[in-house]
Structure 1
Amino acid sequence: MFQDSPIYDRLIAECGDVPTEVRREAERVNRELEMVLRPLRSPGYHDPSQRPAPHPGAGWQRTAMLPAPRPQ
C-alpha cells in the first residue's frame, strides 16, 4: 500500500501494522457470521419476512356463534 514510505515503515515498527490486523480481524468476523447465518439459509428454514401464499378459504370467514347460557 505505502511502498517506499519511511514514515509508514516507522509507524509500523512503533505501532504494528494496524490496517493488516484490522483486515484479518474483519475477515475472521465475516467467516464466523457466515457460519452462524448458514442454518438460516437452509432449505427447511422459514423466513418470517416472506408471507406464505394464501390458501383458498383462508382469512376471515363468518361463523355462527354458539348461544350463551341464559342467566337464571
Structure 2
Amino acid sequence: MFQDSPIYDRLVAERGDVPTQTRREAERVSRELEYVMRPLQSFGAGPNPDRQASPGTGWQRSALLPGTLPH
C-alpha cells in the first residue's frame, strides 16, 4: 500500500504494522462469525420436517419507550 514511503516505514518500525494487524484480526473475527453463524444442519441437528414452525417461538427484540418497564 505505502511502498517506498520512509514515513510509513518509520511508523511501522516504531508502532508496528497496524493496518496488517487490523486486517488479520478482522479476518479472524470474520472466520469465527462465519463458523458460529452456520446453520445447525452442518452439525446434524437440522430442522425437523415433522415439526411446524410456530410464530413467536424465536428470540425477538421489542422497543421500549424511555422510562417504561416491561410488564
Q: TM-score when scaled to structure 1?
A: 0.56
* TM-aligned CA deviation for residue 22 of structure 1: 0.2
2:10 alignment counterpart: 10
C-alpha deviation, 1:39, in angstroms:
2.5
In the alignment, the residues of structure 2 paired with residue 32 and residue 3 of structure 1 have an alpha-carbon distance, to the nearest angstrom, of 31
Provide structure 1 residue ranges, at least 5 long, that are not aligned to the other structure: 46-50, 53-72
Q: Which runs of 5+ in 2 are unaligned?
A: 48-52, 55-71
The corresponding residue for 1:22 is 22
Larger C-alpha radius of gyration, 1 or 2?
1
- Percent pairwise identity: 74
Q: Matches of 1:35 and 1:3 in 2, distance apart?
A: 35
CA RMSD, Structure 1 to Structure 2 (Å): 2.3
Q: TM-score, normalised by structure 2?
A: 0.57
